Amino acid sequence: MSHSDAPIGIPMDRSAGEPEYQQAFETMARQSVQALMANGLPPNFEHRDLILELAVKYRLPSITWWTDISEQICLAYTPDYPYYFHLWADEVGQALNGVAPADIPIQQATKFMLTINLKTAKAIGLEVPAALILRADKVIE
């Protein structure tokens, strides 16, 4: 991997606000970043609408793990949360019934949903390969 292909990480303090996100996207533009992967942790979660807006403004194909904006972002690869709700409820039930937390297996997401928004992809000039569209769980045209 050449230096220009290396991932660029821009750490955001928990108190980051709109000016810090504007600066981060300007920095990514200067460094010719080609795509964005935003995690769902704070402060990104609180600023997910701003991140979406800036990703479109800067024409960055993006992938996130937020289900509430997965239909707006270009690509969303999110855990299938409804599938996991009953598993998490079972864990809570075990704890309430006296099972030691250390004895309750942690459920890690293994079932994900791929959502592709072709309208957003077109708006940023991204052509999504047909093979990827066929693999998507949901395609928005």
Residue 1 lies in a domain: no
Torsion of CA 40, 41, 45, 49, to 10 degrees: -60
**Is residue 3 a part of any domain in this protein?**
no
Place of tokens 């009953």: 86
Residue 1, pLDDT above cutoff 60: no
Domain count, the chain: 1
Q: What is the pLDDT of residues 48-79, one digit of tens each?
A: 999 989 998 999 888 887 777 777 888 877 77
User: At 23, which CATH number?
Assistant: 3.40.50
Residue-wise pLDDT tens digits, 102-135: 999 887 878 888 889 999 899 899 999 999 999 9
Domain that holds residue 111: 15-140
Q: Which residue has the tokens 């990480």?
A: 9
Residue 6 counted as domain residue: no
Is the pTM above the cut of 0.85? no
